[in-house]
Amino acid sequence: MKAGLLFVAGIAAAAAHPRRHQHPVKRQATDFNVVTVVDTVTAVEPSVIVYVDGDGRAVSTSFFGAPATTPTDTPNSVAPSTYAQPTAESSSDAAPTPAPSSALSSAPAPTSSSAPGADFSGYTLSYSPYNSDNSCKSQDQVNSDFNVISGYGMIRIYGTDCDQTATVLTAVKAKGMKLFAGVYDVNNVNAEVQQIVNAANGDWSNFHTVSIGNEGVNNGAYSVDQVVSAIGTARSTLQAAGYTGKVVTVDTFVAMIANPQLCQASDYAAANCHPFFDGGVSAEDAGQFVLGQAQRVSEACGGKETMITETGWPSDGETNGKAVPSQDNQVAAVNSIRTAFSNNVVLFSAFNDKWKQNNPGTFGAEHYWGIYGDAP
């Protein structure tokens, strides 16, 4: 997804920060690699899933994107799926309509996309410490951001560049939150884990989870064996440094279902799911869609505890089928997700990520996922 606002700036940004998380480019079905064969053929490209029938005709297209949890010792289990399998006329990843899991009885709806005005203490929020020009935010800037987003139980970050484990940990501690830390580059697991160890400096009390990779199998960057091996390496290093929290890998829910080894090697199943990119889900139905996919992941992983580690809705951009980006729909989608989940979900994201670059597959929405609008 690094392809666009300004050509020269895009090149410089990629060189300076090659590991940052973005939704990938959507391409034609002929460009995809076949990774799973069931009743239909599932072809994938970074976070893009195209379902085709036996004659190779496209049936539906879905995007899936990253994060999820609450600051409890163990995420609440999402029960294995009990819904009926989709019919031949429906997409194989269509959302069922099960009863909400741990539903909120009276969750107040956010009043706007930039000022939620609700109690988010049971939820996790994803956060990226980058300025619009791709430069790293200072500790003062991170602290200023956290003055706006305080009230969450946990914050998820994706990597270790910009010394973000240390800067975000400082802000997290000041707000009494937990940290969902991350290693982004599986091939650099030793160095990135060491940065996390250095940032903790022997005090792991504010750490909940350390993730190893984000959608690396789905986008073809790593094999399943590479990721499983990296999880083991990271877990050993972290435990030797005194860490007793959770270690997982994060991938799309489709990749998790197709490769249960990923969740088997993790302390819980951690899957990203973005209903907006499905194209067949309205904002009001976002929560049920995400819940249905969480149930599918848990079922594929043998009933393992499951967390949706990234989900949300953009406030601007182009319409994708039934998915219409707007501030009102962002509010509706976030509230729908909060109704379906009282915890075990990471809302994406804190602020609009102007440092990212759009491509045709992101529907012009890549900058506009921030629940709180633009950063201070």
The per-residue DSSP string of 140-196 comes to HHHHHHHHHHBTBSEEE---SGGGHHHHHHHHHHHHT-EEEEEE--GGGHHHHHHHH
Residue 121: pLDDT band (50, 70, 90) is confident
The pLDDT assigned to 260 comes to 98
- Residue 214 tokens read as 């984000």
Q: Tell me the two tokens of residue 91.
A: 């997409």
| Catalytic one of 45, 299, 310, 366 | 310
The share of the chain scoring above pLDDT 90, in percent, equals 65
Q: Are residues 320 and 276 in contact, defined by beta-carbon separation less than 8 angstroms?
A: yes
pLDDT at position 92 over 50: no
Position 360 confidence tier, pLDDT thresholds 50, 70, 90? confident
pLDDT above 90: residue 165: yes
- Which position has the higher pLDDT, 153 or 85? 153
Sequence-ordered list of residues with C-beta below 8 angstroms from that of 270, at least 6 positions apart, any chain: 67, 68, 69, 209, 211, 248, 249, 250, 251, 263, 306, 307, 309
Question: Of residues 100 and 340, which shows the higher confidence score?
Answer: 340
Q: What's the confidence (pLDDT) of residue 357? A: 86
Three-class SS of residue 45? strand
Q: Tell me which of 83-87, 152-156, 170-174, 200-204 is least confident.
A: 83-87
Handedness of CA 285, 288, 291, 297 (dihedral sign): negative
Return the SS3 of 33: strand
* 117 or 112: which leads in pLDDT: 117
The helix or strand, by DSSP H or E, that contains position 327, with its residue range, turns out to be helix 327-340
pLDDT band at 23 (very low <50, low <70, confident <90, very high): low
* Burial class (CB within 10 angstroms; exposed 0-12, middle 13-18, buried 19+) of 321: middle
Mean predicted confidence (pLDDT) in 60-82: 34
CB 372 within 8 A of CB 112: no
Is the model's pLDDT at 94 over the cut of 50? no
The pLDDT value given to residue 21:
63
Arithmetic mean of pLDDT, 108-133: 69
Torsion 282-284-286-288 (CA) sign: negative
**Predicted confidence (pLDDT) at residue 190 exceeds the cutoff of 90:** yes
CA 112 to chain centre: 22
Check residue 54 and give its pLDDT.
Answer: 39
Active site residue 310: yes
- Mean pLDDT, residues 313-322: 97
Asked if pLDDT for residue 371 goes beyond 50, the answer is yes
249: left (phi over 0), alpha (psi -120 to 50) or beta: beta
**Predicted pLDDT at 227:** 98
Higher local confidence (pLDDT), 170 or 110: 170
Please give the average per-residue pLDDT across 48-65, as a whole number.
34
Strands 48-52 and 41-45: antiparallel
Look at residue 96 and tell me whether its pLDDT is greater than 70. no
pLDDT for the residue 117: 52
Model confidence at 166: pLDDT above 50: yes
| Domains of the chain, each with CATH number or no CATH | 64-362 (3.20.20.80)
122 within 8 A of 342, measured Cβ to Cβ: yes
Q: What is the pLDDT of residue 372?
A: 96
Task: Please check the confidence at residue 280 and state whether its pLDDT lies above 80.
Answer: yes
- How many percent of the chain have pLDDT more than 70? 69
**Strand pairing class (207-214; 124-126):** unpaired
pTM above 0.95, yes or no: no
Residue 202 has pLDDT above 80, yes or no: yes
- Lowest average pLDDT, out of 45-54, 188-197, 299-308, goes to 45-54
User: What letter represents residue 367's amino acid?
Assistant: H
